[in-house]
Amino acid sequence: MINRRKFISASAVSSLAALIGKKAWASEAPAIVKGKPVVISTWDAGLAANKGAWEILGKSGRALDAVEAGVRVTEDSLNCCVGLGANPDRDGFVTLDACIMDENFNCGSVAFLERIKHPISVARRVMEKTPHVMLVGSGAQQFAVAEGFPLEEQKLSLDAQRSYEEWLKKSEYKPVINIENKGNASTSFAPAKLANGEWNHDTIGMVAMDANGNLSGSCTTSGMGFKMRGRLGDSPIIGAGLYVDNEVGACTATGQGEDVIRVSGSHTVVELMRQGLSPEAACKKAIERIVRIKKDKIKDIQVAFLALNKKGQVGAFAIHKGFSYAIKSNDVEKLVNAKSWTS
Ligand code: ASP
């Protein structure tokens, strides 16, 4: 079982100079997808989420409906890193963030939302039923309840309770994100959990192209485990955690949200694809930008981008080894290990 901290110390990453120019870790050949539709999503939980999306895409449904349905599967699972079963903030409350974007630049987002099971669907209602893009906190909750979403009990899942109690012993505020535990990655649809009870990642991002060639995307998260109360990452921010331009492509991000926001990550990747880069090359260039900004500090963070272009080509790139994404099309259904800066 490898976790990211162990991996990093083993890899002896010492300077930016050592990183730049270093050959990226070659994992697997990029998945070649023939035709439409196609859906891709972050991490191992993406396999189950893609199946949910395929219920719609496989019947020639709209990408927007598919990306909502897909990540609802992950939000539904109480044993997961996303949704109400996830780790709480450092005050013991689960707060959720999500956003969604369609093929016409319509977008909606909720952040710091409590006690609502499906933030992604509330984000969609914000997009469709308000003149706004983003609602946060108690206002987002009030809107959700007015829209008929049930207010769930304020209660941690058993696993989250256990890991919170463990965390409280030291109450160390040291955000650790996306610890890759690949021990059971290929055998389990559920996200892996570390021995200390922490989930290995906290987000699912999904982008899809439907049979008509239209793109949409969704992103939903509990954010960083034991985060400061009120902290938001990239996931609910259009342009950071998610971006869709139906003429070009779509991208979603996972990892240390602060560093994704800094470079407007998903929007940057889409703009790089507009300039002609393949999805993988665009993701790599955006990661490179973060590597240059963070210098030696990249050993403390993980960021990954996952993108799909208008031709249906898929690509991803991460700072560190261990980021996986799930892909589903008419002829492919698998988990792919993305390439990364460090090996
Ligand atoms: N990007 C998310 C955040 O910063 C976390 C994650 O991707 O696991 O909140």
Question: In this structure, is residue 29 part of a structural domain?
Answer: no
Question: In this structure, is residue 6 part of a structural domain?
Answer: no
Best mutation site among 81, 89, 203, 229 for ligand 1 pocket (most ligand atoms within 8 Å of CB): 203
Residues designated as active site? 203
Ligand 1 site residues (CB inside 6 A) read 177-178, 201-203, 221, 223-224, 233-235, 254-257
pLDDT, tens only, 238-250: 999 999 999 999 9
Question: In this structure, is residue 64 part of a structural domain?
Answer: yes
pLDDT, tens only, 254-290: 999 999 999 999 999 999 999 999 999 999 999 999 9
234 has pLDDT over 90: yes
Peptide bond into 37 cis (omega under 30): yes
Q: How far is CA 152 from CA 69, 75, 111, 262, 279, in A?
A: 20, 13, 17, 34, 39
Question: In this structure, is residue 151 part of a structural domain?
Answer: yes
Q: What is the CA radius of gyration of the chain?
A: 18
Nearest atom in ligand 1 to the alpha carbon of residue 232 is: 9
**Quick check: helix, strand or coil at residue 44?**
coil
Share of the chain above pLDDT 70, in %: 81
Best mutation site among 94, 224, 302 for ligand 1 pocket (most ligand atoms within 8 Å of CB): 224
Question: Which parts of 182-247 are beta strand (E)?
Answer: 203-209, 215-221, 242-245
What is the distance in A from the centroid of ligand 1 to the CA of 219?
Answer: 10
Share of the chain above pLDDT 90, in %: 72
Question: In this structure, is residue 209 part of a structural domain?
Answer: yes
Q: Of all protein residues, whose CA lies closest to atom 9 belonging to ligand 1?
A: 223
Q: Which residue has the higher pLDDT, 159 or 96?
A: 96
315 has pLDDT over 50: yes
Can you give the pLDDT at residue 195? 41
Least confident of 77-81, 115-119, 225-229, 233-237: 77-81
φ, ψ of residue 230 to 5 degrees: the values are: 95, -10
Please spell the DSSP secondary structure of 256-273, one letter per residue: -HHHHHHTTHHHHHHHHH
Residues 6+ apart with CB under 8 A from 121: 68, 72, 149
Nearest atom in ligand 1 to the alpha carbon of residue 97 is: 9
Range of the domain at 328: 38-340
Residues 6+ apart with CB under 8 A from 251: 207, 217, 242, 243, 265, 266, 267, 269, 270, 273, 279, 282, 283, 305, 306, 307, 308
Best mutation site among 97, 202, 237 for ligand 1 pocket (most ligand atoms within 8 Å of CB): 202
Can you give the pLDDT at residue 34? 63
What is the distance in A from the centroid of ligand 1 to the CA of 35?
Answer: 31
Question: In this structure, is residue 4 part of a structural domain?
Answer: no
State how many domains the chain has.
1
Instruction: List 340's β-bridge partners, or say none.
Output: 25, 318
What is the distance in A from the centroid of ligand 1 to the CA of 273?
Answer: 23
The whole-number average pLDDT for the span 142-155 is: 96
The whole-number average pLDDT for the span 181-206 is: 48
What is the distance in A from the centroid of ligand 1 to the CA of 316?
Answer: 16
Q: Of all protein residues, whose CA lies closest to atom 4 belonging to ligand 1?
A: 257
**Quick check: helix, strand or coil at residue 134?**
strand
> Other CB atoms closer than 10 Å to residue 179's CB: what's the count?
21
Please spell the DSSP secondary structure of 275-326, one letter per residue: TT--HHHHHHHHHHHHHHHHGGGGGG--EEEEEEETT--EEEEESSTT-EEE
CB-count burial class (<10 Å; 0-12, 13-18, 19+) for 331: exposed
**Quick check: helix, strand or coil at residue 243?**
strand
What is the distance in A from the centroid of ligand 1 to the CA of 177?
Answer: 7
Residues 6+ apart with CB under 8 A from 226: 87, 88, 89, 90, 164, 167, 173, 175
What is the distance in A from the centroid of ligand 1 to the CA of 56?
Answer: 27
Residues 6+ apart with CB under 8 A from 144: 110, 113, 116, 122, 125
Q: What CATH number is attached to the domain comprising 310?
A: 3.60.20.30
Angle at 293 between CA 236 and CA 207, to 5 degrees: 35
Nearest atom in ligand 1 to the alpha carbon of residue 42 is: 7
What token pair was written down for 31? 């998945």
